Amino acid sequence: MAAFSFLKENEEKFWLTPSKRAQIFNQAVTIQLTTFAMLSMVFYAIMTNEGGRFTPTYASNFPLFIVKLACVMALHFVIYPEVSKGMNIMKLANQHPSMFV
């Protein structure tokens, strides 16, 4: 609903016709329903413990915990530039067409 409200408020700024707004809204609803269905299936799989696959494995000692923590932090620092690039590309794609004239 937030995306729909945003589009409604910026209708003139982005030159959105009612049919285009409806198309974007339908896509947003479809994406949300698909995401909810996926999360529901994963939750069900974890709760029923399909074939014993979802047993938690915790660090058996403190040094191992520290190593895992350091690896998680390093992974996030390595992935951040890629995520940042993707966000910049998405922001560029959402710019008003008159900005490129």
Q: Give yes or no for residue 85 having a pLDDT over 70.
A: yes
Q: How many CB atoms lie within 10 A of CB 28?
A: 15
- Residues 14, 43, single domain; the answer is yes
- Residues 48, 2, single domain; the answer is yes
Which is higher by pLDDT, 24 or 27?
27
Q: Which amino acid is at 56?
A: P
pTM of the model: 0.46
pLDDT at 31: 93
Contact 32, 53 (CB under 8 A): no
The percent of residues in the chain predicted with pLDDT above 90, rounded, is 27
- With b for 16 or more beta-carbon neighbours within 10 A and e for fewer, the 68-93 pattern comes to eeeeeeeeeeeeeeeeeeeeeeeeee
pLDDT at 101: 46
- Residues 5, 37, single domain; the answer is yes
Measured CA to CA, the distance from residue 66 to residue 72 in angstroms comes to 10
Here the tokens at position 72 are 């998680």
- Residues 49, 6, single domain; the answer is yes
Here the tokens at position 5 are 């409200």
Q: Containing domain of residue 29, as a range? A: 1-56
**How many domains is the chain built from?**
2
Q: Give yes or no for residue 7 having a pLDDT over 90.
A: no
- Residues 21, 67, single domain; the answer is no
- Residues 70, 35, single domain; the answer is no
Which is higher by pLDDT, 5 or 51?
51
